[in-house]
Structure 1
Amino acid sequence: MKATWEKIEKNKVVLNVEVDAEQVASALDRAFKKVASKANIPGFRKGKVPRQIFEAKFGVESLYQDAVDILLPESYVKALDETEIKPVDRPDVEIEQFGKGQAFVFKATVTVKPEVQLGEYKGLEVVQKESAVSEEEIAEELKRLQQRHAELVVLEEGTAENGDIAVIDFDGSVDGVPFEGGKAEKHSLELGSGSFIPGFEEQVVGMAKGEEKDVNVTFPEEYHSEELKGKAAVFKVVLHDIKRKNLPELDDEFAKDVSEFDTLEEFKQDIQKRLQERKEQANEQDRESAVVEKAAANAEVEIPDAMITSEVDRMFEDFTNRLKMQGMDIDMYLKFTGQDQATVKQQMRTDAERRVRNDLVLEAIAKAESISATEEEINGELDRLASQYQRSVEEIRVILSANGSLDSIEHDLIVKKTVDFLVENSKAVAEVA
């Protein structure tokens, strides 16, 4: 087999392939075995028709399409290996010659990874955010823990306030007509949470147990239901119970109840340590993201639309998988939001393009700086995965090979090392107050 290529556009090449006549003959043999098992010729059992009889009746040309279907994928993959072309989309194939006793000649127009012209990527200035934890942040964390461990007390007298849990019935209508999802009984609503339509919770504040009231609201223009956007609605509300949070005292007993510490002071010190670690980790991630974005912005690269579309498809698949983990499928989500798949995917394109650009630039920097993953590092990652999933390393290797993810281990390691390289060679500047 012969394979040559020539560049025709910035991100496109034409691959010219010639497969010798012997391989064509072999493909025709395989095609005949496939179709002979189904051929119905009087006097012969299926699968027992002689080749000469079959070709005399149907013509050798009847085997061509099956033979091409057999030979083309094999030849194309082999040609890619020989020429070291890395396609990013399906090829546009044109068959120029195929026949018994002839060579198989075809050309494939292939979209390939774009060339990246790197700009400045060393010495980039990135903001180093402050990681110190303030007394206000510690107090806020303690307040959050207070809320989590609060005891709910049912009030027999008084009116509902922000922060209370109001147990209500509600029945909504627009122009006197009920709408889907607008009715519920004994619903627990935390007042001030902002979980209902703007203006609803504010009108429940001040209601007493057993009180009935018409609550008038207007659905937001950006509401998920097309039928309700911007519409005025009336909810008939009945308040059954008011539950108020009884917050525990912030003292040593509280610390003992919610932590492993004996005193509130020890607990506060632990909170400060954990908050600072969290901040440092977040700041490091911000710095990594910032230096990658700057390096990508300084580079020049023309990204083929096929790469962006493929990334959108991957993002959409990840999104649908996350929905399933939350007990919702994509059809339910689309109905709830009033969107279709095309709209959701279009919203993902900007982020998809950014991801592809960043990945291409990081790959180019890794090549320029000879950054690679060692066998020891790859094996170390396999060991980590084996330990995480309680499988043997060989099992992990087989699983990753089966779903085509083994190469991604090396890719991810190189990306991480390249990001580390950019951070190490960047200049930290203080955050402007």
Structure 2
Amino acid sequence: MKSAVETLNPTRVRLTVEVPFEELKDSLDAAYKKINQQVTVPGFRKGKIPARVIDQRFGRGAVLEEAVNDALPKLYQSAVEEGELNPLGQPEVDITELKDNELLAFTAEVDIRPEIEIPDYSGIEVEVDAAEVADEDVDKAVEQLRERFASTSVVERAAAEGDVVKVDLEAKVDGEVLEDGVAQGVDYTIGSGELLDGIDDAVTGLEAGGTATFTSELKGGSAAGQEAEVTVTVETVSARELPELDDEFAQMASEFDTLEEMREDSRKRLAEQKKYDQATQAQEKVLDALLELIEVPVPEKLLQDEVETRKHNLVNHQLGQLGLDLASYLKMQDKTEEDFEAELKEQAEKGIRTQFVLDELVNKEKLNVSQEELTEHLMRRAQSSGMSPDQFAQAVVEGGQVPMLVGEVARGKALATVVESATVKDTNGEVVDLDDEDESENAESDETSTESADAEAETKDEAKDEAKKEDA
């Protein structure tokens, strides 16, 4: 077999392959055997039909087609190995010549990983937020805990901001009550913004049994995006009572005996979270700085596929779970579809460039993944998926996804290596010491899926409040 490689662009090549006919013997034999099992010829037992009879009855062309289909994958793979290529995706194969008993020739165009030159990255310097915990931060954390332990009691007065009202809702569009536009016994805290726009003004001042009507745009359900006339009826009004901030509250809400001890524990936890956030921010900024140093061409077909995958996951999984469609989401974000597509393409391109660069770093730094590291990563992934480690491991093995997990861990180690060599300072000008544990835990997410995961998390945060409005 002869093969040659033609570079079409930095991310695509064309293989030209010529195969002497004698090298197709095994595939021809397999073709006759397969046809033998599929056809019946009078006077011959099944599977015992001579090759010449098959040629006469069904045509030599059918045999050649079967043989070529059998041989092509192996021939292509041999040409890839001979050319020392790293193909991405499936090739586009074109048979250019097929002469019986003489020659098979074909071309195969395929995207390949671009050759990347990793520069000296030891000079990277980034700035991150200072991991300082102010008294106001502690006050806010304690107040949030206090809110969780608030009690409510029914009162005989008009509803005011901060009260919890139990309401019935009915939404009409064009005078018709929507099938999914009725909700009863909904608890709502006035001023929280967790239901329909306009409901705060409508219920404020109403006593139990009071009714009001207002107009609001529906964010979910069958009439998402349409203006609806909503009738709200207040069943009860309850006042929220916050516990006193004293040692008794500390004993009720925590493991500590005094309020001061509880506050100090909150300060410690906040400091740990800020350090964790600081490490994450450092990794993101170091990665961005590294990508700026390297020219990374991206295969167009791979980029298109990645954009489609991200869009499918967003629309059919993240938004679908929240009861939103793409049009509602775009309206909520005040974005056009063109803006959305452009952002999605930018995220996908960065994800691909990130994977290419980190994979090259893995090779350059000769990074290996131990069984222990793989197991730890698998445990974390299982936890985030809601599956048991055994279930997740079984699904990974059955789906042939072990190499993918190994790649995730390796890329995480590659990024950690760059972060360790970079200079990270906080906004006060102090050099930040990032411990290995924070780096390894965060770094694993910095691969192709990182960008989509970030976008999905952002989508969930922004859409969470909107989803709560569906019942109306």
How far, CA to CA, are the matches of 1:51 and 1:211 in structure 2? 90
- Residue 285 of structure 1 pairs with residue 283 of structure 2: no
Residues 293 and 358 in structure 1, CA contact (< 8 A), matched pair in contact too: no
TM-superposed CA distance for 1:237, in Å, is: 1.9
> Alpha carbons of 1:424 and 1:55: their partners in 2 closer, same or farther (altered >3 Å)?
same
- Aligned counterparts of 1:129 and 1:182: Cα–Cα separation in 2: 46
User: How far apart in 1 are the matches of 2:85 and 2:60?
Assistant: 34
Matched, 1:297 2:292: yes
- 1:417 aligns with one of 408, 413, 435: 413
Aligned residue pair count: 415
Deviations 1:76-96 (A, max 9, x none): 123222322112232121112
Give the AA of the match of 2:108.
A
CA distance in 2, matches of 1:247, 1:74: 73
Please name the residue that 2:404 is paired with.
Answer: 408
**Aligned equivalent of 1:48:** 48
Q: Give unmatched runs, 5+ long, in structure 1.
A: none
Q: Per-residue displacement from partner, 1:164-216 (whole Å, max 9, x unpaired)?
A: 221111222244333453322222222212122322222211111111222x2
Question: Using a 3 Å threshold, how does the CA distance of structure 1 residues 5 and 382 change in structure 2: closer, same or farther?
Answer: same
* Aligned partners of 2:374 and 2:406 also within 8 Å: no
1:224–1:336: 8 Å Cα contact kept in structure 2? no
Pairwise CA distance, 1:28:
1.6
Distance 1:329 1:102 in 2: 59
User: 1:381 pairs with 356, 373, 376, which one?
Assistant: 373
Between the aligned partners of 1:234 and 1:134, the Cα distance in structure 2 is: 46
Tell me the distance in 2 between the aligned counterparts of 1:228 and 1:151: 35
Q: Answer whether contact 1:154 1:243 (CA < 8 A) is retained.
A: yes
What's the secondary structure of 1:37's corresponding residue? Answer: helix
Match of 2:305 in 1: 310
1:256 aligns with 2:251: yes
How far apart in 1 are the matches of 2:203 and 2:370? 59
2:231 maps to which residue?
Answer: 236
- Alpha-carbon distance in 1 for matches of 2:28, 2:356: 42
What's the offset of the Cα at 1:418?
2.7
Partner of residue 107, structure 2: 107
Alpha-carbon separation, structure 2, partners of 1:64 and 1:99 = 10
- Whole-angstrom distance in 1 between the partners of 2:376 and 2:424: 32
Q: In structure 1, what is the equivalent of residue 215 of structure 2? A: 217
One-letter code of the match for 1:384?
E
Q: What's the CA shift for 1:72?
A: 0.9
Answer whether contact 1:24 1:100 (CA < 8 A) is retained. no
TM-superposed CA distance for 1:289, in Å, is 0.2
Q: Residues 237 and 405 of structure 1: is their aligned pair in 2 closer, same or farther, counting only changes over 3 Å?
A: closer
The Cα of 1:387 is off from its aligned counterpart by 6.9
Q: Answer whether contact 1:170 1:235 (CA < 8 A) is retained.
A: yes
The match for 2:163 is 164
1:90-101 matches, within 5 Å, as 90-101=90-101
Check whether the contact 1:171–1:236 (CA below 8 A) recurs between aligned residues: yes
Q: Which residue of 1 aligns with 2:152?
A: 152
1:173 and 2:168 matched: no
Residue aligned with 1:292, SS:
helix
CA pair 345-36 structure 1, distance change in 2 beyond 3 A: farther
Deviation at 1:111, TM superposition (A): 1.4
Task: Quote the Cα distance in structure 1 between the aligned partners of 2:172 and 2:398.
Answer: 55
Q: Work out the CA distance in 2 between the residues paired with 1:276 and 1:253.
A: 25
1:362 aligns with 2:358: yes
Amino acid at match of 2:122: K
- Give the match for residue 140 of structure 2: 140
Secondary structure of the corresponding residue to residue 90 of structure 2: coil
CA shift digits 1:205-240 (9 cap, x unpaired): 1111111222x22428xx567966463x43222111
Does the 8 A contact of 2:374 with 2:409 survive in 1?
Answer: no
> In structure 2, what is the Cα distance between the partners aligned to 1:236 and 1:38?
70
> Separation in 2 of the partners of 1:226 and 1:302?
44
- Quote how far apart the aligned CAs of 1:42 are: 3.0
What is the rounded CA distance, in whole Å, between the counterparts of 1:49 and 1:228 in structure 2? 66
Distance 1:252 1:167, change over 3 A: same
1:154 shift after superposition: 1.9
Q: Secondary structure at the match of 2:245?
A: coil
Q: CA RMSD in A?
A: 3.3
Whether the 8 Å CA contact 2:131–2:278 is kept in 1: the answer is yes
Relative to the length of structure 1, the TM-score reads 0.84
Say if 1:82 and 1:244 are closer, same or farther in 2 by CA, change over 3 A.
Answer: farther
Q: Which residue of 2 aligns with 1:69?
A: 69
Query: How far apart, in 1, do the equivalents of 2:239 and 2:162 lie?
Result: 7
Query: Which structure 2 residue ranges, 5 or more long, are not aligned?
Result: 331-336, 383-387, 430-472
1:48 aligned counterpart, secondary structure = coil
Mapped contact 1:192–1:202 kept (Cα < 8 A)? no
Distance 2:55 2:142 in 1: 85
Quick one: percent identity of the two aligned structures?
27
**C-alpha distance in structure 2 between counterparts of 1:424 and 1:252, whole Å:** 44
TM-score computed with the length of structure 2 as normaliser: 0.77
Q: Is the 8 A contact 1:64 1:99 kept in 2?
A: no
Q: Deviation of residue 290 (structure 1)?
A: 0.8
